[in-house]
Amino acid sequence: MVGKTLLATTVLNALTGVSAFWRMQCKGRTGLARLDPIMDHGVVSTHVHALHGSSALTKDSSSEELMNGNCTSCAVKQDMSAYWHPALYFQDDETGEFELVPQVGGMLAYYLLRNPEGDGKVKAFPKGFRMIAGSTDRREYTVGDPNEPDPPTYNWASLGQTTQSDLEQRALGFNCLNYDKPAEGSMFRHYMPTKEYLDANCKNGLRLELMFPSCWNGKDLDSEDHKSHMAYPNLVGDGQCPPGYPVRLVTLFFEVIWSTKSPLFEGRPGQFVISNGDPTGFGYHADFMTGWDEDFLQEAVDRCTNPSGQLSDCPVFMENGPLRTEAEQSQCMLEYPDPECDVDSKTGVVFKALPGNVEVIDGPGATTKSTGFFDHLTSALGFGSDKETTTHTAPTLSYAPAPSSGVIGMPGGAFIETTASSASSTSAPDFAAEAVPTPPPTTSATPLPTVTSEPGVSYQVVSTETVTQGNLVEEIVWKEAVVYVTEDSVTTTVTPAAPLEKARRSHFVRHQHHGHRV
């Protein structure tokens, strides 16, 4: 006979590795080109992307071809994945012309190992896997008021703000960088600030951020729209997966810094525009195609559990190293440059129109392209080449520092709170824009609570919820205490003495870059 008692227990989500992650540095850019083998497979892409990772990326690359590339612009030589995102341009109000904004430090791809459900396991990307995040045709924010901070996560469901479209919009961040102030939180602002705001407040540039979905349907390596095989968990970068998406993959989070405060643009009226013709920021997006050996990545997921985020603290990478130097990363370029796709990446070059003659469209609403990406008719008709310059009215969300508590440096609302004695401030990741060198942080893992059960008692998770008190978000995991009783001829009354399992997980949004000039 099995007796069951429903208990509410506050438990630490995944007792081992809850804060585990690493920052994949990709300080090199393999190219700047109209390439997108996911959305525009085999043809010239509609707009420009900055490319990182494997040197073998082409218009029709496969994962296997990426893995056979000559080099990677990332720090771990086994990471032959391809990462790409649209470039950023400045449009001059007086001339209507465009200039490429300098990109600072390549990009960071955070590999976050999160799964608060079931066995807590996180799976590596399977061979051939690819996905996109964001919607290039989006030009408005429909999840509340973009002038206001997001409501607490525990209110999202009651507000009806947990559809995949809602979560995708909250997965974007435009972080105003000013190293003289405490950092803003990651994904705090979901739109492109105006040039006036950037000039006045963001002296170290603008960091564009994007969280990828991490819930997989467990069967498809891709899908027709390159999205529907994946889904966001209910807290964007953490939380519960929706029905039909039983497998938790690594959570990817991209960060890219652009030098919007460059002297090139100082004192010039205008606006910053993403290369897909988006001045609002709502249409920011990015793509990922795995080039990892699946078994190697799974070993890293299982063993790289240090909460520092440093690649050098991952035994799998160090045992199979060395890590690639910054110079080696920067020297890695596309093996097969395509004259049709290549775009001039020199600083100060003036363009009459965005590459591909992409039209600047500021909304509201979407760009009305059914595929989500501008079709090639846009380029053929030459849109953008003779249009008047129009500057959109951006929302205004004023600077607000992230919580000042010491945190282990993970982005996007899932920081692990530590005391001053257990971890130094990790507000200084590995690279950043225009700042003095800062030594990497030192951390020591806080011992996790040990939870034991009475003999004959086991626990099964039946549901979860979150409760916020001030800056602390507790995840409540409801478990059944299953009591096993062996019957014999004597009637026995059993009263389960199930212990209360308790630990806390804090969700903070705090991340900034300090580091050396690159």
**Could you tell me the two tokens for 343?**
């775009």
Q: Report the pLDDT averaged over residues 166-194.
A: 96
Task: State the residue for tokens 């129109």.
Answer: 353
Confidence at residue 348, expressed as pLDDT on a 0 to 100 scale: 78
Point out the least confidently predicted range of 168-182, 300-314, 345-359: 345-359
Helix intervals (H) in 304-368:
315-319, 326-331
Q: Report the pLDDT averaged over residues 177-203.
A: 95
Taking the C-alpha atoms of residue 74 and residue 325, their distance in angstroms, rounded to an integer, is: 9
pLDDT of 316 strictly over 90:
yes
Output the pTM of the full model. 0.74
Q: Cα–Cα distances in Å, from 224 out to 34, 84, 131, 175, 230?
A: 21, 19, 11, 32, 12
**pLDDT tens per residue across span 70-96:** 999 999 999 999 999 999 999 999 999
Q: How confident is the model at residue 466 (pLDDT cuts 50, 70, 90)?
A: very low
Report which residue type is found at 275. S
| Closest to 172 measured CA to CA, from 151, 215, 216, 141 | 141
Helix intervals (H) in 29-103:
63-67
Q: Cα–Cα distances in Å, from 494 out to 5, 9, 130?
A: 12, 21, 52
Q: Report the pLDDT averaged over residues 105-125.
A: 95
Point out the least confidently predicted range of 168-177, 286-295, 438-447, 470-479: 438-447
Task: Identify whether 364 is preceded by a cis peptide bond (ω within 30 of 0).
Answer: yes
Point out the least confidently predicted range of 15-29, 39-53, 87-101, 401-415: 401-415
Q: How confident is the model at residue 60 (pLDDT cuts 50, 70, 90)?
A: very high
44 versus 436: the higher-pLDDT residue is 44
Confidence at residue 118, expressed as pLDDT on a 0 to 100 scale: 87
Evaluate the CA torsion angle 226, 230, 236, 242 in order and state its sign.
positive
Share of the chain above pLDDT 70, in %: 67
- The beta strand positions in 27-125, using DSSP E, are 31-33, 49-53, 82-86, 88-92, 98-100, 103-112
**pLDDT tens per residue across span 433-459:** 333 233 333 333 344 444 444 455 554
pLDDT of 513 strictly over 90:
no
- What residue spans define the domains of the chain? 20-138+159-402
Task: State the residue for tokens 């953008």.
Answer: 384
Taking the C-alpha atoms of residue 311 and residue 331, their distance in angstroms, rounded to an integer, is: 20
306 touches 445 (CB < 8 A): yes
Q: How confident is the model at residue 288 (pLDDT cuts 50, 70, 90)?
A: very high
Taking the C-alpha atoms of residue 115 and residue 138, their distance in angstroms, rounded to an integer, is: 29
**Could you tell me the two tokens for 85?**
């995102």
Task: Identify whether 322 is preceded by a cis peptide bond (ω within 30 of 0).
Answer: yes
Confidence at residue 397, expressed as pLDDT on a 0 to 100 scale: 72
Q: Cα–Cα distances in Å, from 499 out to 4, 7, 451, 458, 465?
A: 15, 10, 8, 11, 20
Confidence at residue 480, expressed as pLDDT on a 0 to 100 scale: 52
Confidence at residue 347, expressed as pLDDT on a 0 to 100 scale: 75
448 versus 162: the higher-pLDDT residue is 162
Question: Would you give the DSSP letter of residue 299?
Answer: H
**pLDDT tens per residue across span 375-418:** 333 333 333 334 444 456 677 776 676 654 333 334 533 332 22
- The beta strand positions in 335-488, using DSSP E, are 350-351, 407-408, 416-417, 457-469, 472-484
Q: How confident is the model at residue 516 (pLDDT cuts 50, 70, 90)?
A: very low
Point out the least confidently predicted range of 221-225, 359-363, 455-459, 492-496: 492-496
Q: Report the pLDDT averaged over residues 23-28.
A: 97
Question: Would you give the DSSP letter of residue 349?
Answer: -
